[in-house]
Amino acid sequence: MMEEVRIGRQIDQLRKRREQLVMTLQHIGREQEQVEQNTDWLDQAAYESRANLLDRLNDWYIEEMDQIDKALNRIRQSQYGLCLGCHNPIGADRLDISPEAEFCGSCQGVREQLEER
């Protein structure tokens, strides 16, 4: 029963964060339109800097939303909380902090070490 309550809280957390991301992406889209429509840029570098920043933010938030969607899908498939690397349970504390986590702490550590190389 306690596990169902915890998963319910995590589902709520994931859905609320997803709603925030949708609103943020809409705002970034409006900002991108304004950047494109504004012809009063002092120089090309300022325009490119702003456009690149908005593109990176957009990509970052889309990636986060993708992680949330994957977590919600794992919940629907009754695979939530299982590490995609070793298939052992992901710690409850880790899921409370990061409900979209795909890997246990050990496997995530290995992944980060490999990415650093």
| pLDDT single digits (tens) 30-63 | 999 998 888 777 788 888 999 999 999 999 999 9
pTM to 2 decimal places: 0.82
Which DSSP symbol is given to 90? P
Domains delineated in the chain: 1-80 (1.20.120.910), 81-117 (no CATH)
Q: How many CB atoms sit inside 10 A of residue 2's CB?
A: 7
pLDDT of residue 72: 96
Helices (H), the chain: 2-37, 44-76, 92-97, 105-116
**Structure token digits, residue 46:** 């300022």
How big is the chain by its Cα radius of gyration, in Å?
19
Taking 70 as the pLDDT cut, the residues of the chain under it are 1-2
Spatial separation of the C-alpha atoms in residues 99 and 95, rounded to whole Å: 4
> Phi and psi dihedrals of 89, rounded to 5?
-60, 140
Q: At CA 92, angle to CA 79 and CA 14, rounded to 5?
A: 65
